[in-house]
Structure formats: C-alpha cells, structure tokens
Amino acid sequence: MQPWIFESWLMLGVLVIALAIKGFAFVNALTFSVEAYDAAGKLTKQAWCLITGLGFAAQLVLLGSPLGIINLIFTIAALVYLADVRPALREVTSGRR
C-alpha cells in the first residue's frame, strides 16, 4: 500500500469522525430547553446552537481539510459542549428534556 493511500484514508476517517461529533453536538444542543441552559449556568441555548450549528455547517462546506484551523476550533467547541455542557444539562433536567 502506498503511503499516500493510507494518509488519504486516515484523513477521511478524521473528517467523518469530526463531522459526526459536530452533528451530534448540534442536534443534542437543540433538544434541551432554554430553561435548562439557564439552570445549568451555561451559555444560552441560542449561543450553543449557533456555535455547534456553524461548526457543523463549516465542516460540510470545508470538506477539503478536517485539520484546518476553522474546523479544529469548531471541533474543540463541540467537544467542550459534549464534555462540559451536556452533562450539566442532563443533571439539571434529571434525564428529562
């Protein structure tokens, strides 16, 4: 196998994983109520939906490079949402949405 073939498959894998993370974060941000964000003491629902939605859209538009600076910034933002905001929202809603 040529080295460039392996690199192409690796980049495709990174692209798909980043797209899945951003898509899941965006859809999940939409499912919680405005009150849950306030109760958790996090940014507003509109802010998180905008951040994760723009990240998802940017990933779709900028398919060329999953390691570009814009995609990396939005991937980190989606990971912050999933690691910090989502658990806080689940805690204040006790699993209910």
Is pLDDT above 70 for 73? Answer: yes
- Give the C-alpha distances (Å, rounded to integers) separating 95 from 3, 42, 52, 61, 77: 46, 17, 21, 34, 23
How does pLDDT run across 54-67, given as a tens digit for each residue?
A: 999 998 887 667 67
The pLDDT assigned to 34 comes to 96
Q: Is the pLDDT of residue 97 over 70?
A: no
The C-alpha atoms of residue 28 and residue 55 are separated, in whole angstroms, by 14
Cα first-last separation, the chain: 49
Tens digits of residue pLDDT in 11-70: 889 889 999 999 999 999 999 999 999 999 999 999 999 999 999 999 888 766 767 888
Task: Please give the pLDDT value at position 55.
Answer: 94
77 or 7, greater pLDDT: 77
